[in-house]
Amino acid sequence: MRLHGLNWDAKKFIQTASDKANNGEPVHGIKFDLKSTDGMARRGAITTAHGVIQTPAFMPVGTAATVKTMRPESVAETGAEIILGNTYHLMLRPGAERIASLGGLHKFMNWPGPILTDSGGFQVMSLSELRKITEDGVRFRSHIDGSYHDLTPERSIEIQHLLDSNITMVLDECTPYPATEQQATDSMRLSMRWAARSKAAFQKRDGYGLFGIVQGGVYPSLRAESAKALSDIGFDGYAVGGLAVGEGREAMFATLDVTTPELPGDRPRYLMGVGKPEDLVGAVARGVDMFDCVLPTRSGRTGQAFTRRGQVNIRNARHKDDPRPLDEECTCPACTSYSRAYLHHLASSKEVLGLMLLSWHNLHYYQQLMSGIRAAIEAGTYADFMAAFEVEYGGGDIAPLD
């Protein structure tokens, strides 16, 4: 017997767990105000115990309680209002219990604003040779010292509670790409059962929320089934997982086209692990409110800068005698105080300051992009914004000096 695309046992399990966690009602420990829309694009605000997040929002990634090469104060100066921490890395080192004993992740890393933690599922799933998945959860070996650990939905929620995360993510299995429809089905339904258990384990409190994660690969019917199952359970927000894993932008956008309309309109939507500036602009047009990605800081550490005119490799020889700023309209320290020639020197010499300045610039650019997106939605001109962005971003860097 099948109900709503789920086999009977899975449906019964999800309903039982939901009954234990407010009978399918969202946790609603955080508040989401939808201020305006322009087509599918949405302008809103999320209120948490540690502050308000203006959406659409981009979250810098602070995997191991640090945004690489950046001081927390510097991250805030870029305009970021929320950062992401990682359950997998923090449970292994320094340990969730230790962080809790030191006052929680906000105090530990000196970030007073909101924090979202991912569940650890993506990192564990990437350890293909070091983990075993069962109905109960995942048993894996640490990449640090080879020790064995068990990560269940309940333990993931407990760890994130110890970290004092404002937005907790359910434990899920990130479906690999490519995957057959049957593989994606089995993986997604396991994630739905884990989602129900995650909600049952979550401790409801003001200013803290729990997000479900839609899975299903690139199969529209599976995405719809997953969205329906999560909506029936009820969450504070809904993430779209299992994308940006090799499927390409066209397939990602096609998947969003069939997924976001299936999600509750009064709750925030989060596209996990995305992405490049053009990905963010396109995903916002498809109804996404939140993003995270390591790209701005990782690229900054390899001499890559994001600008209004596209991506710039500051290591290229054309910059070595160039006294102009990286972007004359950018107000970050890299652009207001240093020349392309100096940034080229730092990157070519592998100086730490170069990593810091380019990471700062990239995060600043991303936050300015999100600010522009929010303003365009408010003004009802998002289509014009997208068109102008495509022309300018695709136009290429300024011409080199003669």
- The amino acid present at 141, given as its one-letter code, is R
Closest CA to 367 of 303, 311, 313, 291: 291
| CB environment 119-156: b (16+ within 10 A), e (fewer) | bbbbbbbeeeeebeeeeebbbbeeeeeeeebebbbbbb
Closest CA to 355 of 64, 58, 73, 74: 74
141 strand-pairing partners:
148
Of the listed 38, 118, 236, 327, which one is catalytic? 118
CA distances from 331 to 56, 68, 327, 360 (A): 21, 21, 9, 11
CA distance 358 to 304: 7
CA distance 64 to 389: 33
Pairing of strands 2-3, 138-141: unpaired
CA distance 80 to 82: 6
8 A C-beta contact, residue 255 and residue 223: yes
Of the listed 279, 289, 292, 397, which one is catalytic? 292
Known active-site residue 145:
no
DSSP state of 399: P
- The amino acid present at 378, given as its one-letter code, is E
Known active-site residue 19:
no
Residues catalogued as catalytic: 118, 292
